[in-house]
Amino acid sequence: MSPPLSTESDFDQAGPQLRTRAEGLASVLPPLLAEAEHLASTVMFGAHGRRRSGVGDEFWQYRPMTETDEVRMIDWRRSARSDVHFVREKEWQSAQSVVIWVDGSRSMAFSGDKNRPTKSDRARLLALAMSVLLVRAGERVGLSNLGQLPRSGQVQLVRMAEALTGDLGDDDYGMPQTPGLPQHARALFVSDFMGDMEGVEAALAKAADRGVRGALLQVLDPVEESFPFDGRTIFESMGGTISHETLKAGELRDRYLQRLAERKDRLEHLSRVSGWLYQCHHTSDSAQAALLWLYAALERSR
Amino acid sequence: MWTIGALGFTAPLLLLGLLALPILWVLLRAVPPAPIRRRFPGVALLLGLTDDETQTDRTPWWLLLLRMLAAAAVIIAFAGPVLNPQTNRAGSGPVLILVDATWADARDWPRRLDRIEGLLADAARTDRPVALVASTDLPPGDLPFQAPGAWESRLPGFSPEPWMPEPDELTEWADGLEGAFETWWLSDGLAREARAPVLAALEDRGAVTVFESPRPLHGLRPATFEDGLVQVTALRARSEGASEVTISAMGLDPAGIERRLAQADAEFANGEREARAELSLPPELRNRITRFEVDGGRSAGAVTLTDDSLRRREVALLAGRENREGLELLSPLHYLEQALAPTADLIDGALSDVLLANPDAIILADIATVSPAEQEGLLEWVESGGLLVRFAGPRIASSDVSRGEIDSLMPVRLRQGGRSVGGAMSWGEPKTLAPFEEGSPFHGLDVPQDVTVQAQVMAQPDPELAERSIAKLADGTPLVTRRGIGQGQVILFHVTANAEWSSLPLSGLFVQMLERLAISTRPAQPSADDLEGTVWEAAAVLDAFGRVQDAGTLPGVEGSRLAQGRLGPDMPPGLYEGEDRSIAVNVLGPDDTLALAAWPARIPVEGLDVARETLLKGYVLALALALLAADILASLFLSGRLRGMRAGGTAAALAAALLLHPAPADAQEGLTDEERFALEVTNEVVLAHVVTGDAQVDGVALAGLRGLSETLFRRTSIEPADPIGVNLETDELAFFPFLYWPISTDQPIPSDEAYAKLNEYLRTGGMILFDTRDADIGGFGAETPEGRKLQQLARPLDVPPLEPVPQDHVLTRTFYLLQDFPGRHTSRDVWVEAAPPDAEQVEGMPFRNLNDNVTPVVIGGNDWGTAWAVDERGQAMFPVGRGYAGERQREIAYRFGVNLIMHVLTGNYKSDQVHVPALLERLGQ
């Protein structure tokens, strides 16, 4: 055959395959939001009534008509079956505000294994997935970092996704920030809670003052749980501000684990006394389980 | 130099550094291993924790030991350790180094040279003058004592000789020595009669030390031929233990290259010094053997040259008639066979077969005529050196062969009939033989008186007859005549080969005559008498190492000297050639044996081994490096880094492996041409045309497809790559959705395999657009050459029934709405697969429900390729029609192309009734 077998360089240049390649690239574009949507789609959601009569779409109860009721409120269909006039009441449905705080400090950037997502990735994914669920349920969602009031709707999701794909901050450890926490809102704190507990306590106390309840999700890497180190080691925080030198890291394991357990107990205790819920999640585990727990936790506290 | 046993140190003071090791130990113990830095968020929890014990900051004892060993190795290495440091041979006064330098030395000559060098070095250290003497090359006069350095420069030219020293000469020389000197005698290890007197003479002058090699020494006696087997006897000097040697027969192969022709093993039994190997070889192979040698022998004694004694001539015997079965004594060949069988290899068979074997001699007993082809073959064979011997007989006597003029295969003209003497019906007595004249090959043979001739064929008297007859009867009539033809000769015995006509075959003279004619082989060794007065010239000589060398311009050797058999500078071993035969003179004769030299107990005998100085510095340093490398691993392990590195380590190992075996950088590399081709044409849609072999047509087709591809690229979502030409015979068709086949009358009919491929292609969804390019002259029913060619080409193709494109064919609406399919021509006749007969039009629908398939062929003659063709810059190559209407026609041609490719790629998509409303709207209905 004579002819113009295209040479190898043809495969490199933006030739006829540009369209194909561009499509391939575009198909993976909105990763975080898509992933979050995908994760959220595994959780069934429904209408969440206030368990009391009020303004809403769902039927709540029929009650006999009282004097204060207007005539137009009578449900004639129900009333026709008896001698009393009934009024049809709907369940009170109102949108809830949920404020989510995702730890954006450097310590969240840790991953004990190249194949595992960092803690921050997992935390952000869970937060966004939860937001997706909440928005679908008609709730208002907001990030405490954004400094805006919780809003509902798809646009808010995009805004949150944008905020959550940004870089991590410079601090070594994060402290829950709840500048505009509305009264009786719900809150979700996602962090590794490795830093100072004072900040967490303060935030919880402030939230309790405002009647806010919510959930604490501690995201830990399995390495942080097992402490598989040995030999002479200088441990440094992710930002490099704190360091600790040991001659035999293996000796420290038990005491480290003990301290970690204490820290978890304290979180558990704190959350219990302030009416919150606490859960520890490991990045090696499935994100779905954590999402389910979050869903149940916010459901309960809502 | 300071030595411990076999170990010495060049800088022993450095060893004091070993004393510093304990200090190093303490120092190393005090320094903890370097820490690892780890990023770890959990550090917040670690703050305030202290280590329980401080023990772990010490390096473990075994790591310390490793480092100590490394340090010690470095110290020892730089102290310059030397294995076997050379010690001097003490003594003073001049030294005679006597080297036997016979063939027995040749095998380990380099070691001997090393030893001599060592001895010279020893003498040089103590400033002793040295005389280096080879017993085979004795210096005249006094011993040439010189400085050892002077000898050392001459050593490379010092070589052994392939003979033994003359005993008397050697003894005389030793007795004639004067002065006091020490003797270092490098013996070849063989027992010789001159040893004892020489040793006694040397001991008179000073101490004698003997150096001998313990290596086994082998020799070969000349090969003999007995009972159809070649027998070779191997000798060895040492009799203890059983051993085995391999004897190879070397010779030229038919291509003239020397190679090993055969080999045999000779096994020495314990206590035996001789072992015999027997080789059974076909004559052709046996005649090629030029020498036997012991494998690995590498000395002249381990080689024995062969001469004529091993060579056996191949003689072909053919008789005219073999009809007298059972009467063996009357067979024309019986006496010949009896005479030749012991000394020659006999061949029988048809003449044409025999000629192929190229025998040394062919004997025709009473064969008058041979076929012309055989005659020609025989003549050729004779001219190239063959010896043709003919015997007369009744047939020759009664035939016309060589009557009027001489036959090309006869030595003389013959008279008709022949004659009979001494019979019952004749007057004369049976004739006897006359003595052989000088110049005849038979000269010197005794003529027994009882040999009589009763009948013979007579030679015509000719001028050359006298010189051609080599044997005559007593009355002068020729009995044997000879004529040279080319390099060969024809010999005629004027009598029969059996005893019918004469008693010659019954006598011993017959055998001798055959022998003289070199028909049979001579007895092995000529006697001294035979050799007297002859001169022999060396054709090849052996050197001491057993290598066959060209003799060059060595002077001739007299027969008497040859008979003496003693080798020397004037007669080295080799192959000597005389007038008509060759004699091999070998180092070992048939009766020679080998034995070890026996030395008196008072003489110290040393081996040849030179203990070499070995500098150990490099090895010890390497050991230190290895220890340090181990230390790195151990340190990593201790500090916990090895674990983390496991993944990285494997990655590093992989990287190293990749460095060693670089993976193809480009995935394209490592593909075969077929795979590359397949990738090229399947990554993108590629339009293709069939290569017709007509360069003009192919060029236009390619340009046309280029234009169509560009149009498709611009207007549709089909983005084809550059089109290519496809060779039906060699290229895979399955990659192409569409083939454009312009019909050229010159195209050869594709092969059966190509048709099989084409049918497979059509059956599996491919489409071929046949273009006869003749639409304006070839109408329906009219025939054109291209049309006929198309019929011819398409006959073996699996083409379904065809019909002209119907109005509602999907081709009319796959992309553009078309009713005409013009190319350069505007014929309406375009044929596609016929619609199924049951296709019917549904009420209210403009199109029928047509077949689902893509039509496998589209046949037309509108020369679309020309209309589509564009050059490299995208300009139309050929004009179509006239003016604007022509451009419109070209546009419609492109549209047809677009529709066609759309049809190929999308099938009957547009046939789908779903699109009908939209289409109706477009059609304005």
Q: B590-639, pLDDT tens digit by residue?
A: 888 888 888 888 887 777 666 666 778 888 899 999 999 998 888 777 76
The residue type of B3 is T
Distance from CA of B630 to the nearest CA of A (A): 19
CA-based nearest residue to A94, from A46, A156, A49, A58: A49
Q: In this structure, are residues B496 and B420 in contact, taking their beta carbons and an 8 Å threshold?
A: no
The 3-state DSSP class for residue B473 equals strand
Q: What is the rounded CA–CA span in Å between residue B202 and residue A124?
A: 106
User: What are the chain B neighbours of A4 within 8 Å (beta carbons)?
Assistant: 722-724
Q: In this complex, is the C-beta atom of A170 within 8 Å of any C-beta atom belonging to chain B?
A: no
CA distances from A279 to A285, A295, B49 (A): 13, 12, 27
Question: What b-and-e string marks burial along B391-405, b requiring 16 or more CB atoms within 10 Å of the CB?
Answer: bbbbbbbebebbeee
The whole-number pLDDT of residue B666 equals: 46
Q: Which B-chain residues 39-98 have CB contacts (< 8 A) with chain A?
A: 39-47, 49, 51-54, 56-57
CB nearest B46 (choices: A5, A119, A244) = A244
Q: With bands split at pLDDT 50, 70 and 90, how would you rate the model's confidence at B662?
A: very low
- Whether B823 contacts B893, CB under 8 Å: yes
Residues 6+ away with beta carbon under 8 Å from B849: B839, B840, B842, B913
* pLDDT tier for residue B705 given thresholds of 50, 70 and 90: very high
**B positions 1-40 inside 8 Å of A (CB):** 32-40
Which chain A residue has the Cα nearest residue B667?
A8
Question: How is residue B20 annotated by DSSP?
Answer: G
Which residue do the tokens 């689902």 mark? B852
Q: Mean pLDDT: which of A205-209, A294-298, B620-624 is highest? A: B620-624
Alpha helices by DSSP H, B716-751: none
Nearest CA in chain B to A172: B41
User: For residue A265, what pLDDT is reported?
Assistant: 93
Residue tagged 């499509």 (tokens)? A23
Does B664 touch chain A if contact means CB atoms closer than 8 Å? no
The answer to whether A221 touches A282, Cβ cutoff 8 Å, is yes
Domain B313-436+448-516 belongs to what architecture? Answer: 3-Layer(aba) Sandwich (3.40)
Give the residue-averaged pLDDT of B518-533.
62
A 76-105 residues inside an 8 A Cβ radius of B: none
From the list B835, B840, B790, B789, the residue with the least C-alpha distance to B810 is B835
Looking at CA atoms only, how far is residue B883 from chain A in angstroms? 33
Model confidence at B703: pLDDT above 90:
yes
Q: Is the pLDDT of residue B25 over 90?
A: no
Cβ <8 Å between A231 and B723: no
pLDDT digits 0-9 by tens, B819-843: 888 888 887 678 888 777 666 666 6
> Which A residues 119-138 touch B at CB under 8 Å?
119
Which residue in A5, A16, A246 is closest to B719 by CB distance? Answer: A16
Q: Residue A6, SS3?
A: coil
Contacts of B51 in chain A (CB under 8 A): 246-248, 251-252
Least CB–CB distance from B44: residue in A8, A232, A237? A237
How far is residue A40's CA from residue A43's CA, in Å, rounded to a whole number? 6
Q: Cβ contact (<8 Å) for A227 and B42?
A: yes
B203 class by beta-carbon count within 10 Å (0-12 exposed, 13-18 middle, 19+ buried):
middle
Query: Side chain identity at B919, as an amino acid letter?
Result: L
Interface touch A1/B57, C-beta < 8 Å: no
Question: CA-nearest residue of chain A to B698?
Answer: A2
Neighboring chain A residues of B702 at a CB cutoff of 8 Å: 3
Question: Residues A115, A179: contact at Cβ < 8 Å?
Answer: no
State the best of A108, A235, A248, A265 to mutate against chain B, taking most chain B CBs within 10 Å: A235
Question: DSSP characters for B677-695?
Answer: HHHHHHHS---EEE--S-H
Confidence of residue B740 (pLDDT cuts 50, 70, 90): very high
Percentage of chain B beyond pLDDT 70 is 85
For B92-102, the pLDDT digits (tens) are 788 888 888 88
Assess B646–A contact: CB distance below 8 Å, yes or no: no
Residues of A in contact with B637 (CB under 8 A): none
Higher pLDDT, A154 or A257: A257
The answer to whether residue B553 scores a pLDDT higher than 60 is yes
Alpha-carbon distance of B860 to B823, in angstroms, equals: 10
Domain B218-312+538-554+572-593: state its class: mainly beta
Q: Which of A4, A110, A192 lies closest to B724 in CB terms?
A: A4
pTM of the model: 0.41
- Cβ-Cβ contacts under 8 Å, A223 against chain B: 40
A21 interfacial to chain B (CB closer than 8 Å): no
Residue B528's SS3 state is: helix
Superfamily of domain B683-923: Domain of unknown function DUF4159 (3.40.50.12140)
Identical fold for domains B313-436+448-516 and B683-923, yes or no, is yes
- Neighbour-count burial of B787, counting CB atoms closer than 10 A to its CB (0-12 exposed, 13-18 middle, 19+ buried): middle
Half-sphere exposure of B268 (CA within 13 A, CB side): 25
For chain B positions 686-705, those within 8 Å of chain A (CB to CB) are: 691, 698, 702
The mean pLDDT of B240-256, rounded to a whole number, is 85
User: For strand B344-347 and strand B313-319, is the pairing parallel, antiparallel, or unpaired?
Assistant: parallel
What pLDDT shows up at residue A18?
47
Looking at residue A82, its amino acid is S
Quick one: pLDDT band at residue B373, thresholds 50, 70, 90?
Answer: confident
CB B699 within 8 A of CB A2: no
Domain positions in chain A are 59-90, 97-301
Position A27 scores a pLDDT of: 41
Number of residues that this document lists for chain B? 925
Contacts of B46 in chain A (CB under 8 A): 235, 244, 246, 252, 256, 259
Of B32, B45, B666, the CB nearest to A256: B45
Nearest CA among A280, A266, A291, A167 for reference residue A217 = A280
Give the mutation candidate from B36, B43, B638 for the A interface (greatest A CB count, under 10 A): B43
Closest CA to B829 of B896, B776, B785, B758: B776
Probe site for chain B from A111, A233, A253 (most B CB atoms < 10 A): A233
Cα B500 versus chain centre, distance: 56
Mean pLDDT, range B3-31, rounded to an integer? 80
Residue of B nearest to A109 (CA): B41
Q: Is B453 touching A (CB cutoff 8 A)? A: no
SS3 readout for B905-920: HHCCHHHCHHHHHHHH
What pLDDT does residue B915 have? Answer: 67
- At B825 the pLDDT is 85
What average pLDDT does range A191-210 have in this prediction?
Answer: 86
Residue B895: pLDDT band (50, 70, 90) is very high
Task: Please give, rounded to a whole number of angstroms, the shortest distance from the CA of B357 to a CA of chain A.
Answer: 53
Q: Which residue of A has its CA nearest to B34?
A: A232
Beta-carbon contacts below 8 Å between A and B: 145
B91 against B295, higher pLDDT: B295
Q: Which residues of B615-640 are buried (b: 16+ CB within 10 A; e: fewer)?
A: ebbeebeebbeebbeebeebbbebbb
ipTM confidence score:
0.70
Kindly report each contact of residues B811-815 with a partner whose C-beta sits within 8 Å and lies 24 or more positions away, as own/partner. B811/B855, B811/B858, B811/B899, B811/B900, B811/B903, B812/B899, B813/B899, B813/B910, B813/B919, B814/B899, B814/B900, B814/B902, B814/B903, B814/B906, B814/B909, B814/B910, B815/B716, B815/B895, B815/B898, B815/B899, B815/B902
Q: According to CATH, what is the number of the domain A97-301? A: 3.40.50
**Region A66-89: what's the mean pLDDT?**
86
The mean per-residue pLDDT over the stretch B479-494 comes to 88
Separation between Cα atoms, residue A38 and residue B274, nearest integer Å: 95
On the question of pLDDT at B324 being above 60, the answer is: no
Q: How far is A83 from chain B (nearest CA, A)?
A: 59
What does the buried/exposed string (b/e) look like for B153-182 if buried means 16 or more CB atoms within 10 Å of the residue's CB? eeeeebbbbbbbbbeeebbebbeebeeebb
Pair A200, A176: CB distance under 8 Å: yes
Q: Tell me which chain A residue has its CA closest to the CA of residue B685.
A: A16
B364: its two tokens: 């025709």
Closest in A8, A195, A246 to B51, CB measured:
A246
Q: What is the pLDDT of residue A60?
A: 77
Question: B54 and A247 in contact by Cβ < 8 A?
Answer: yes
Residue B366, pLDDT > 50, answer yes
Mean pLDDT (chain B, rounded):
80
Q: With a CB-CB cutoff of 8 Å, which residues 213-232 of chain A face chain B?
A: 221, 223-224, 227, 229-232
> What's the rounded mean pLDDT across residues B89-112?
83
Mean pLDDT, residues B108-126: 84
What is the pLDDT at residue B87?
59
In which band, very low, low, confident or very high, does the pLDDT at B894 lie, cut at 50, 70 and 90? very high
The pLDDT of A252-262, averaged and rounded, is: 89
Provide the residue ranges of all domains of chain B, joining segments of one domain with +: 95-216+596-606, 218-312+538-554+572-593, 313-436+448-516, 683-923
Say how far apart CA B185 and CA B606 lie, in whole Å.
10
DSSP string, A162-218: HHHTS---S-SS-----TTPPTT-EEEEEE---S-HHHHHHHHHHHHHTT-EEEEEE
- Of residues B775 and B379, the one with the higher pLDDT is B379
Distance CA B50, CA A255 (A): 10
Q: Categorize the per-residue pLDDT at B778 as very low, low, confident or very high, splitting at 50, 70 and 90.
A: low
Helix (H) or strand (E) holding B450: none
Please tell me if residue A16 touches chain B, with a CB cutoff of 8 Å.
yes
Distance CA(B90)–CA(B862), nearest Å, equals 112
Chain B contact for A113, CB < 8 A?
no
> With contact defined as beta carbons under 8 Å apart, do B598 and B585 qualify?
no
Which two structure tokens, joined as six digits, stand for B140?
């005249």
Q: A286-290, B50-54, B291-295, B805-809 — which is least confidently predicted?
A: B50-54
